[in-house]
Structure 1
């Protein structure tokens, strides 16, 4: 099914999702499942997430095969001109380097000198690693952390909380997120331009969810509690 469909009396937007627990989950229990799903409902549409590799997800959304893409950095509309960014962020994202070597520093210059792996289509990493001598790109996080666990790469670049969750799930030990994070960026929903009328409604819904305190409560319950961080 592609494009705008109908289900349960509401129009359905099919949005590409390259996230993982604790942000999105197969049973829709993730933080973004809850927050973005509620924002879509308030905007008068139903959210359906589909999983695609990161690069293909952007290409498909730009081509209108699906209706948009979730949780991407700002500025992609210049490279994918058919996409419109919903101007209210869904998340602050920590982009992190993972390694067994705790002596490494979490900065771009140090990372660029290592045998480093990242997921194809993660634009911030592609931009920062352009011209670096030893880079491997893969299609998904499972492949990425297997390479790191088997010492095929020295550093793996991913999102901080999703990396921590994946390592717990797979029983990977001895690998840590380097400090400080490589970058912290605001993340946004992008919609295909045919859905331009929905963009301001989604932005308003996200602002309301934050103002009501629902956003912070869900973040404590679905992210901080699962990652071992105690909310202040």
Structure 2
């Protein structure tokens, strides 16, 4: 009788023990699964995040209308839109050309946005070039005289501080650098300079706005400027995505709208009646 009673009590306990065992196993399995997910998500979030909470800081020096103090120049807006494609917040600061590339190489800033195709890799080993070129424009030789461009070394030439010059013909020529376009035009008028090097759009603007009908504007193939972004190696994870974004942006509606906006702005500039 006692034996039978014990068996019955055991049978009553068995379902409870079984249920407890199942719950324990499920809890343990859930813990392992959640731990696995958390580990994977944490690792995935740490695999080359494009941008952290910090801004991407680019420095350089480029004159108007491409780069302005208000950061609303054509290149300023161009860069902002490209980095927005990567969900990155871009901050642009104006720095003298030499200082910008040095600080980018040291990692004090994330990169330089006003560099040409080739730089001395031995001098700046920490910089990575982002291709393709993100922006291109033409410069022009501007003068009131008949210039023999194969003999440029014999002329006094003026350029804008911070405006990159791609022409190899000017690489070994000492040039006068000034801050503003007006200064270059005035120096030309006063015969203090023989030639000024200006963006072609700016040259035609001053010819129109100042009634400089005898101003000669000469565009040469070597005066095409292709701008590249160079990033410090600490931002190496941005190079490939940025390259893709640049290529896509050049074929986007946003790019077309931005260019149309600046063209319209230029056409709306009032000019005096030249007699």
TM-score normalised over the length of structure 2? 0.64
Residue pair 1:164, 1:227 contacting (<8 A) in 2 also = no
Greater helix content = 2
Residue pair 2:166, 2:223 contacting (<8 A) in 1 also = no
> 1:74: how far off?
0.6
Q: 1:124 aligns with which of 147, 155, 166?
A: 166
Residue pair 1:71, 1:90 contacting (<8 A) in 2 also = no
Q: Which has the higher contact order (CA 8 A, sep 6+)?
A: 1
Paired with 1:67 and 1:84, the residues of 2 have a C-alpha distance of: 11
Which stretch has the larger CA shift, 61-70 or 139-148? 139-148
> 1:156: how far off?
1.8
> 1:90: how far off?
1.6
Paired with 1:61 and 1:150, the residues of 2 have a C-alpha distance of: 39
> 1:172: how far off?
5.6
Q: What is the root-mean-square deviation of aligned Cα atoms in Å?
A: 3.0
Equivalent in the alignment of 2:143: 99
Q: Which of these two proteins has the greater Rg computed from alpha carbons?
A: 2
Q: How many residues align?
A: 211
Equivalent in the alignment of 1:221: 261
> 1:162: how far off?
4.8
Paired with 1:151 and 1:191, the residues of 2 have a C-alpha distance of: 42
Q: Is the counterpart of residue 185 in structure 1 residue 225 in structure 2?
A: yes
Gapped regions of structure 2 (runs ≥ 5): 1-51, 269-275
Paired with 2:126 and 2:254, the residues of 1 have a C-alpha distance of: 31
Residue pair 1:92, 1:187 contacting (<8 A) in 2 also = yes
Paired with 2:250 and 2:159, the residues of 1 have a C-alpha distance of: 32
User: Cα–Cα, structure 1 residues 99 and 152, in superposed 2: closer, same or farther, change >3 Å?
Assistant: same
Paired with 1:111 and 1:186, the residues of 2 have a C-alpha distance of: 22
Equivalent in the alignment of 1:209: 249
Equivalent in the alignment of 1:152: 192
Residue pair 2:156, 2:176 contacting (<8 A) in 1 also = no
> 1:45: how far off?
2.0
Residue pair 2:130, 2:229 contacting (<8 A) in 1 also = yes
Paired with 2:99 and 2:186, the residues of 1 have a C-alpha distance of: 22
Runs of 4+ that moved beyond 6 A = none
- Give the 3-state SS of the residue equivalent to 1:152 in structure 2: coil
TM-score normalised over the length of structure 1? 0.74
Paired with 1:55 and 1:215, the residues of 2 have a C-alpha distance of: 30
- Give the 3-state SS of the residue equivalent to 1:65 in structure 2: coil
Deviation by residue 1:30-61 (Cα, 9 ceiling, x = unmatched):
22222210111222321111112223222222
Residue pair 2:166, 2:225 contacting (<8 A) in 1 also = no
Residue pair 1:23, 1:162 contacting (<8 A) in 2 also = no
